[in-house]
Amino acid sequence: MLNTTKHLTIMGWNGRIFAASFLVLLVLCGCSKGDGGVDKGQGVRVTDATGREVLVKRNPMRVVTLNKNAAELLRLMGVTDRIVGVSDWIPKNPDYWPELVNARNVGKFNAPDEEAIAALKPDLVLCYQNSPGPGFDEKMRAAGIQVLRLELYRIGALPRDVEGLGRIFGREDKAREYLDWLKVRMDEVARRVAASKSRPDVYIEGYSDFAACGNSSGMHERLEFAGGRNISEALQPANTPVSPEWVLERQPFAVVKMSSQNGCYTHEGPEGMVDQRAALLARTGWNKTPAGKAGRVFLMTTDVTSGAASVVGIAWLAKWLHPDTCADLDPNLWHREFIERFQGRPWRGVYVHPER
């Protein structure tokens, strides 16, 4: 009999998440005959990362995006010509972002140059839920600039955020095309994971050593969709320091480590991830864990663990954890589709290690 918890997790996309998302979309799209989600033709009502309904100017022509995931969605919708400022992540990757080489670099996503942003006179600034920190919105508002905070690193909130951006920029058709593509692939993962007889224990480590990804992290959510059990699920913070002994006591079936490797699009091989993985395997006692004995120690980069391509990361997790039902799953094929079809770039790069 299928484990009830696992069943709820696997069915999360088709049932809980997508049903809830479509309910939100119905409300936001204004199915009542009120303002239809639009205020006198001047704005669009969307839900931000905090759950608040906000009125955003329709069709903004000058945009600063501190959120690289949002930049991918704007490119998906064909409006990168409106981006006048970006965080420093994008200039570091010019091969992936050739159309944004002339956009102004306004600094780090979590601590941008506020004067540089104000000087660009954008209609809208897109950023993450918690970055930049408190006070940023107020400073932008004082300069007459609207800020919209979106999650985009959570697969469960992705339909809401994509649909909202589609309406803001008048690209509802592009948003729906992508969401239809996403649903088919999430359904495929759900079907395969549901057919598996296991729910392996996994240690997910953040970018810092022995920083466990707790139940508030995006990686916890993705692991659940992929049919794994997070050994850190009782820990709430996204990054919780744990001891080496704590990990060893839990004898994880697999280890997934977040890699901060940059420029993955231009890499021909796993580059620095090889050394990083070797260091993980060399940790004291890890060779006595199920993960270490079988070599199930994997590295993933942010390119496939957040934003519109996060289904690719979920597919990798499912493939690693459920070889009985996912051995022939090809996450690279899905990633190639995403890069070529929705980003308009040639397929290349290395984003996880090892792939098998």
Q: Tokens at residue 26, please?
A: 């119905």
pLDDT in tens, 223-258: 999 999 999 999 999 899 999 999 999 999 999 999
CB contact set of 59 (below 8 Å; sequence gap of 6+): 168, 169, 170
Q: How far apart are CA 259 and CA 300, in angstroms?
A: 6
More confident residue, 67 or 194: 194
CB contact set of 246 (below 8 Å; sequence gap of 6+): none
Domains in the chain, start-ordered, CATH in brackets? 4-170 (3.40.50.1980), 198-353 (3.40.50.1980)
227, 321 Cβ separation under 8 angstroms? yes
> Which of 25, 80, 50 has its CA nearest to residue 147?
50
Q: Please state the pTM of the whole predicted model.
A: 0.88
> Which of 8, 9, 4 has its CA nearest to residue 225?
9
pLDDT grade for 6, boundaries at 50, 70 and 90? very low
- How high is the pLDDT of residue 152? 86
Inform me whether the pLDDT recorded for 34 exceeds 60: no
pLDDT in tens, 314-332: 999 999 999 999 999 999 9
